[in-house]
């Protein structure tokens, strides 16, 4: 029998992160996009070396520690062009803190922003939270052709998450080049959130070289938090062009003085380990978990994978005719936590009504158990 019980309204989380909170204590937490797989042997060695890294971080000038960390991370992911930039790199506790700083900066010069749709809901929430008016930019439209210059002129900024969360779609180099040229032409700030970049080789082309060459006013938010299971020790980098014309450094200084040099040093070591083979291993790991999920749901009537080619650490599943919230609730009763997708579609929530997002950066056994539970729930047995 299909499970029809739904949660009382009062208990229903208000945003995606509140759904993720509910999952935090479960061994079958397939909800949030943070990395929760086991450490690899190479990563265990780095954790074992933390006392030595502490001592080293105490001794080294902060600027040196910061530079070494973002250099190792950005070069791992093909972002060599940043080396020659005259722009600035601001370290933040997380990419959402970087986002908040960007939002507060934008609202000093503009009242509206063109924002990718769908995307993770804390982005529209942070932007509208400072009073910006949001104009949806459909993902299919972004990939199709140039944007309407009149629309670009009507906003202060266009914001694109690439690879996108949750679809995994990547803005290819030719589209980035064209968009940057349009932004230069219309004097619109181009902001990119590349938090999931590490998983997707198609997004390892040199974005900074393209942005810099365009002359547009650009901002990039980089995130170390999605790749490695570092217990929420992470950095978000807010990187911007010299001509960006936003008070990013002033607002950053309202919020923090600096990120812990221990965390920065640890991130550098994880990036070095990744460059020595760990990144390729991580890609194989996520691909294997994706296969477990896709194969485990094969043949279930109504199930579809709308973005089967995505390589990021989350996968979307269309669950058929039943509301995803009902499937979410039935899974929750089995202590399996996923994410219903309405709120990714911040402008038109119905579009996500029959879709769940499952996290893949988890131990393989959790993926297998969650997949099995989802199969049972969908087959009604």
When the beta carbons of 167 and 182 are compared against ligand EGV, the nearer one is 167
The distance of Cα 47 from the centroid of its chain, to the nearest Å, equals: 24
Q: Is 110 in the site for ligand EGV (CB under 6 A)?
A: no
Among 32, 100, 193, 326, binds ligand EGV (CB under 6 A): 32
| Window 186 to 215, contacts with ligand EGV (CB under 6 A) | none
| C-alpha to C-alpha distances, 121 to 72, 165, 166, 378, nearest whole angstrom | 30, 10, 10, 26
C-beta of 31: minimal distance to ligand EGV in Å? 7
When the beta carbons of 97 and 210 are compared against ligand EGV, the nearer one is 97
CA distance 219 to 256: 19
Q: Is 91 in the site for ligand EGV (CB under 6 A)?
A: no
What tokens appear for 79 in the block? 């972002």
What tokens appear for 126 in the block? 């942070």
Q: Is 346 in the site for ligand EGV (CB under 6 A)?
A: no
CA distance 157 to 161: 13
C-beta of 351: minimal distance to ligand EGV in Å? 18
Q: Is 17 in the site for ligand EGV (CB under 6 A)?
A: yes
Residue 32 exposure: Cα atoms within 13 Å on the Cβ side: 22
3-state secondary structure of 173: helix
Among 29, 57, 96, 203, binds ligand EGV (CB under 6 A): 96
When the beta carbons of 209 and 259 are compared against ligand EGV, the nearer one is 259
C-beta of 220: minimal distance to ligand EGV in Å? 17
Q: Is 165 in the site for ligand EGV (CB under 6 A)?
A: yes
When the beta carbons of 20 and 222 are compared against ligand EGV, the nearer one is 20
- The answer to whether the beta carbons of residues 130 and 113 sit under 8 Å apart is no
Residues 109, 97, 152: CA angle, nearest 5 degrees: 35
**Residue window 117-136: x/- pattern of binding to ligand EGV, with contact defined by CB under 6 A:** ---x-x--------------
**34 contacts: CB under 8 Å, gap ≥ 6:** 225, 226, 232, 359, 361
Q: Is 162 in the site for ligand EGV (CB under 6 A)?
A: no
What tokens appear for 14 in the block? 């208000």
- Number of residues counted as binding ligand EGV (CB under 6 A): 8
Q: Which residues bind ligand EGV (CB under 6 A)?
A: 17, 20, 32-33, 96, 120, 122, 165
């Amino acid at each position: 029998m299909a499970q029809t019980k739904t949660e009382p309204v009062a208990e229903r989380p208000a945003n995606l992160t509140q759904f993720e909170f509910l999952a935090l204590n479960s061994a079958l937490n397939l909800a949030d996009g943070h990395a929760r797989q086991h450490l690899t042997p190479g990563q265990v060695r780095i954790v074992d070396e933390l006392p030595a890294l502490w001592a080293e971080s105490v001794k080294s000038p902060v600027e040196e520690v910061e530079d070494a960390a973002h250099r190792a991370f950005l070069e791992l992911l093909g972002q060599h062009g940043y080396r020659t930039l005259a722009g600035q790199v601001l370290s933040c506790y997380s990419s959402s803190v970087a986002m908040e700083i960007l939002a507060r900066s934008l609202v000093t010069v503009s009242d509206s922003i063109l924002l990718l749709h769908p995307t993770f809901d804390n982005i529209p929430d942070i932007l509208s939270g400072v009073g910006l008016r949001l104009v949806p930019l459909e993902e299919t439209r972004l990939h199709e052709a140039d944007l309407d210059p009149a629309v670009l002129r009507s906003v202060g900024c266009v914001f694109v998450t690439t690879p996108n969360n949750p679809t995994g779609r990547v803005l290819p180099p030719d589209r980035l080049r064209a968009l940057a040229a349009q932004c230069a032409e219309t004097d619109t700030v181009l902001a990119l959130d590349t938090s999931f970049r590490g998983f997707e080789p198609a997004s390892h082309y040199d974005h900074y070289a393209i942005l810099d060459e365009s002359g547009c006013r650009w901002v990039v938010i980089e995130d170390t938090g999605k790749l490695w299971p570092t217990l929420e020790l992470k950095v978000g980098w807010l990187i911007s062009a010299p001509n960006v014309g936003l008070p990013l450094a002033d607002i950053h200084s309202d919020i923090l003085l600096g990120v812990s040099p221990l965390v920065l040093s640890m991130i550098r070591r994880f990036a070095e380990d990744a460059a020595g083979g760990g990144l390729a291993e991580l890609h194989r790991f996520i691909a294997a978990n994706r296969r477990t999920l896709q194969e485990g749901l094969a043949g279930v009537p109504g199930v579809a994978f709308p973005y089967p080619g995505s390589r990021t650490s989350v996968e979307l599943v269309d669950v058929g005719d039943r509301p995803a919230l009902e499937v979410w609730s039935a899974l929750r009763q089995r202590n399996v936590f996923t994410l219903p997708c309405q709120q990714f579609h911040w402008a038109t929530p119905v579009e996500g009504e029959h879709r769940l997002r499952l996290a893949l950066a988890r131990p393989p056994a959790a993926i297998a158990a969650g997949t099995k539970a989802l199969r049972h729930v969908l087959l009604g047995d």
